[in-house]
Amino acid sequence: MKINPSSSAEIESFLFDFYKRYKVISGIEDLLKTLADNTQGKNPPEFKWFNYFSQIRCTNYLLLNKIPIRSFEVQIGGRKLDFQLADGRLGEIKSFSTSRNSIKDPWTLDESVISEFVEKKIKPSFDNQKAHLLIIDDIFAFDTKPYRHLGYFLSFVNRPEIKDRHNLILKHLKKFLPKMLYLSFVNSITINPEIKYLGIEFKKLRLK
């Protein structure tokens, strides 16, 4: 497998290998079918399929780190979650759309960006879906209007010396941070993401 696929054929090879390695995991066929279905339709520029691909590459990252997954596309209590670990905990994976709009002076919008992130991505995962864990894949985040510079703003969680922005992150995210993993696939579209934030519950899984 190439480190950074540069064609649809190489992405297909990654997906084939993913299925071959993990085909015994419940729900994998449903996940791949949903991905395939969303490559069709009238609006391919929206790249909705990439959000399902995000789900695959993030769970692949867990599996390559020997974190066992019991099931994909988990149905429980009328809710549908992205994955369930072998220990029973439920997880969601959130990514972003490709709606690209210019924003006036985006560097000043730190609080609105973080607030939007919490209301649209974080709270629905934990409060509505009752997830125990949340993975954020930052694909398209930089160019998506509501989340411009999200990764940059979130980096201040590790910089208490920058008091204003550090306290802003804690104000909105403190109770969620232990259960969050923030990944950025900057070097490869499929593997070896950079960890931008690693919550304590993910540290216990010994990710690397």
List Cα–Cα distances, 185 to 50, 57, 81, 149, 157, in angstroms.
Answer: 13, 9, 22, 16, 20
Residue 148: its pLDDT value, please? 62
Give the pair of three-digit tokens for residue 144.
């998506």
Main-chain dihedrals φ then ψ at residue 91, nearest 5 degrees = -130, 150
Residue 143: its pLDDT value, please? 55
Contact 61, 108 (CB under 8 A): no
Residue 18: its pLDDT value, please? 96
Residue 80: its pLDDT value, please? 94
Residue 163: its pLDDT value, please? 93
Contact 61, 47 (CB under 8 A): no
Q: What is the pTM of this model?
A: 0.85
Give the pair of three-digit tokens for residue 156.
């201040």
In 3D space, the residue among 110, 103, 19, 7 whose CA is nearest the CA of residue 56 turns out to be 19
Residue 45: its pLDDT value, please? 44
Q: What is the pLDDT along the chain (208 residues), one digit of tens a residue?
A: 444 555 677 788 899 999 999 999 999 999 998 888 877 655 544 566 777 888 999 999 999 999 999 999 999 999 999 999 999 999 999 987 655 454 455 555 678 878 888 998 899 999 999 999 999 998 755 555 566 677 778 888 889 999 998 998 999 999 999 999 999 888 888 888 999 899 999 999 987 6
Strand partners, 92: 134
Residue 167: its pLDDT value, please? 93
